[in-house]
Amino acid sequence: MQSKKQLLALLALCALGSANAFAERNTPLKYWFDRPTTMRGQAVWLASSPDRMPTERQLVRAGDLVNNPDPEWESQSLPIGNGNIGGNVLGSVEAERITFNEKTLWRGGPNTSRGAAYYWDVNKQSAHVVGEIREAFTKGDWQKAEQLTRKNFNSVVPYEADAEEPFRFGSFTTAGEFYIETGLSSVGMTGYRRELSLDSALAKVSFCKDGVQYEREYFVSHPANVMAVRFAASHRGKQNLVFSYAPNPVSTGEMKADGTDALCWLARLDNNSMEYAVRIKAVAKGGAVSNEGGKLTVKDADEVVFLITADTDYKPNYDPDFSDPKAYVGVDPKQTTADWLAKAATKDYASLLNEHYADYSELFNRVRLNINNATVDADDLPVNRRLEAYRQGKPDYYLEQLYYQFGRYLLISSSRADNLPANLQGLWHNNVDGPWRIDYHNNINLQMNYWLACPTGLSECELPLFNFIRTLVKPGRVTAKSYFGTRGWTTSVSGNIFGFTSPLSSEDMSWNFSPFAGPWLATHLWNYYDFTRDRHFLADNYEILKESADFASDYLWHRADGVYTAAPSTSPEHGPVDEGATFAHAVIREVLLDAVEANRVLGKSAKERRQWEDALKHLAPYKIGRYGQLMEWSTDIDDPKDEHRHVNHLFGLHPGRTVSPVTTPELAKASRVVLEHRGDGATGWSMGWKLNQWARLHDGNHAYTLYGNLLKNGTLDNLWDTHAPFQIDGNFGGTAGVTEMLMQSHMGFVHLLPALPDAWAEGSVSGLRAKGNFTVSISWKNGKLAEATILSGSGEPCEVRYGESVLKFKTKRGGSYKVVFCENKLIGGALVSSAPTK
């Protein structure tokens, strides 16, 4: 029975109707620098003429593939992108420098000079060795088990570009650089500002020189698929520019003039003959544009807009013919780029900008966050100075909410439908080769890129991940059969855009043996369904999930004692080969649970489901070790002084759902011990993961410590995450972790403010998404829940928790429901408003 006070509170709440108690953006989300960059990082190949281009081998030997001397690109540039093409704005005064990328421009694959067999025929036939390894474990001969694994579960494919010719694994590679000479000097320049607006995905550079205010704007439009760069000034006739393009240096091509105002670079990568095209067009107001020597020259113009686009001949292939070297070739980049540029050129700059903003803001504005009413302070400090003050202990809640939204900005900018997923650097890269080939690392990094997608209202941005997974299934079946003799499919630690699923050549199994990378990826399929409740999506992807569960089920060793273990297995990048690593069991448990639930939702075969249920019944349980820790391996060999960056054995806590303070408090306590042992430092992405795990333990203050450490010690001046070097997963992990602090839904209910830190005494967040297809908005005061609004997207029953209070209510599709916390109890759940649904 509700008290009179509770009823009055509820009546008052309902009377508010649609009154907004949640975050309204009353301050711009932006960061800026007050100093221009230099040109020291200019590409080493920029001054080379086409007939004197260095070869790939020469660049490798010179160390220039990885170590291009570019001291400012990582930490001072402004990243812009549309999921297909992207760039980094450096903002020098004398000359603008923009590094440029097209996400499908990759070396390697079956079209290298040695053909398809050279690329595909790399798997060892090692399935027969699995039994020998298990026999060695039975006899206690762990050394033999590890030696057999080392010798038999790698491949012949090296990971380094200079280790073979041609390099078959490949790497994401630069599309070149743009260099726009201005004829200006920074001497006497004042008022410099280089700024990135997250609200509009618009970069700006402005300064005053000789009484003239100069302004530049940069954005990448997803609807038009062009980069637009605008040069303007407060006086007429001040634009005297020379636009140069430095292409990828290990490609062969030709620069063609396309009239007096446009350039077209048509080329092929030397490594695999991938065809690509880059087109640049200058649209000037006043003055004149000429085209000579492969450069666009603008004289005495009032304003100039450069339109830029690019494409390659890459196409994804979900059913590749392993004998066809051109299995991933199928687009004509000459034609696509010509069409995009021609269409964009029919629109003026304002129209392109408005179209871009409408597309981008529809995604970005779904979630709003305010912490302690933070706004840009009166000083409006440059971001490097904000970070420095934050590192010295000065609170900066604006910076904290800015970093949160920056992760969402980066995902929208690097992962849009109908292209590849975000890679290790999103889509931004300034060299021919780079750290870890700028590839798709499947042992956490790629997965971490998408932890924030559904919870922060960006489910569409996860679709490229699912397309990528589809490219792995057919090759992954071969890998699963060759190495393990199983049904289904899997992949290994390092992936490229050409269906590579094999392990690499290294015998270091601590990182190169990762057979459960495939099942981990497959869990994202169910996760997406659980958030969206899109049955068509689940039906379309059920076979992929089913085959992954079949692989996991078949992989298990049915020991004589009736326990099923993953033998051999590892804890990625850490420790020995084991007869049943906790990480492997946690992933198997997760993918089997997902497959069972998907089977029930779609009404599939019960016989099919029972094999997975049997595996779950017999799977080795979690173990607690002598220090009270959740054990990482099957034997109690954990070292409490070990501060290794990977915390793989806590997969069940996060991103999984099999360890929780709500359902398994003892295992949650043991997980806390692990995190205490591992410490609060590490690489950027590792702090991002531990932030999520502390949030899952409902420890807001410790989660906040990790968030602070991520900003202080794992963040570059331009807010990019650093491993070191720059690696984007920490940005995405950080945003996901803050979301977990404010709302969780992985345990089957909407958990409000499960890990709110004391420092965030007041605030609001709107637009978060919960499993069950609910949209959740929350406000809090004095560290306590004030109210929440829950919009039901599918009309399913809703369970809400806050602290120890639980509220359950039925919903109708499109209905909005208010909840308040009064007298230590959640009340509400009544329909406040109803919106029409499709």
Rg (CA), the chain: 27
Name the residue type at position 400. Answer: E
49 CB burial (10 A radius; 0-12, 13-18, 19+): exposed
Least confident of 430-434, 505-509, 605-609, 659-663: 430-434
Look at residues 403, 442, 408 and name the one whose alpha carbon lies nearest to residue 423: 442
Distance between CA atoms of residues 307 and 281, nearest Å: 5
Distance between CA atoms of residues 787 and 779, nearest Å: 6
pLDDT tens-digit map of 10-68: 545 444 433 345 555 567 999 999 999 988 777 654 444 334 445 555 544 444 444 44
Pairing of strands 798-802, 750-752: parallel
Show the tokens assigned to 407. 């992760």
DSSP state, residue 649: G
pLDDT over threshold 90, residue 141: yes
Look at residues 97, 104, 101, 98 and name the one whose alpha carbon lies nearest to residue 86: 101
pLDDT tens-digit map of 67-121: 445 779 999 999 999 999 999 999 999 999 999 999 999 999 999 999 999 999 9
| Separation in Å, CA 451 to CA 430, 534, 594, 595, 629 | 26, 18, 17, 20, 26
Distance between CA atoms of residues 212 and 20, nearest Å: 44
Over range 619-623, report the average pLDDT: 98
pLDDT tens-digit map of 266-285: 999 999 999 999 999 999 99
Show the tokens assigned to 223. 């609807």
Question: Phi and psi of 489, rounded to 5°?
Answer: -135, 155
Predicted local confidence at residue 10, as pLDDT: 53
| Separation in Å, CA 483 to CA 217, 467, 503, 516 | 53, 25, 10, 13
| Separation in Å, CA 478 to CA 325, 469, 484, 485, 566 | 18, 15, 10, 9, 20
Average of per-residue pLDDT values in the chain = 94
Distance between CA atoms of residues 826 and 836, nearest Å: 27
Distance between CA atoms of residues 99 and 89, nearest Å: 7
Distance between CA atoms of residues 223 and 25, nearest Å: 25
Label residue 499 left, alpha or beta by phi (over 0 means left) and psi (-120 to 50 means alpha).
Answer: left
Over range 826-836, report the average pLDDT: 89
Over range 342-356, report the average pLDDT: 98
Distance between CA atoms of residues 198 and 84, nearest Å: 18
Contact 80, 413 (CB under 8 A): yes
pLDDT over threshold 60, residue 201: yes
Contact 509, 153 (CB under 8 A): yes
Whole-model pTM over 0.85: yes
| Separation in Å, CA 121 to CA 118, 168, 185 | 6, 11, 57
pLDDT tens-digit map of 662-706: 999 999 999 999 999 999 999 999 999 999 999 999 999 999 999
Pairing of strands 564-565, 569-571: unpaired
| Structural domains of the chain ordered from first start | 73-107+174-365 (2.70.98.50)
Least confident of 63-72, 196-205, 607-616, 700-709: 63-72
What residues does 100 pair with on adjacent strands? 87
End-to-end CA distance of the chain: 37
Instruction: Give ∠ CA 744-26-365 in degrees, rounded to 5.
Output: 50
Distance between CA atoms of residues 28 and 7, nearest Å: 39
Predicted local confidence at residue 509, as pLDDT: 95
**Helix, strand or coil for residue 666?**
helix
Distance between CA atoms of residues 791 and 786, nearest Å: 17
Name the residue type at position 157. Answer: V
Distance between CA atoms of residues 264 and 280, nearest Å: 7
Predicted local confidence at residue 728, as pLDDT: 98
Predicted local confidence at residue 381, as pLDDT: 95
**Helix, strand or coil for residue 241?**
strand
Place of tokens 């060759």: 482
Helices (H), 125-269: 127-138, 142-152
Predicted local confidence at residue 50, as pLDDT: 39
353-367 per-residue burial string, b: 16 or more CB within 10 A, e: under 16:
bebbbebbeebbebb
Over range 521-534, report the average pLDDT: 98
What residues does 262 pair with on adjacent strands? 281
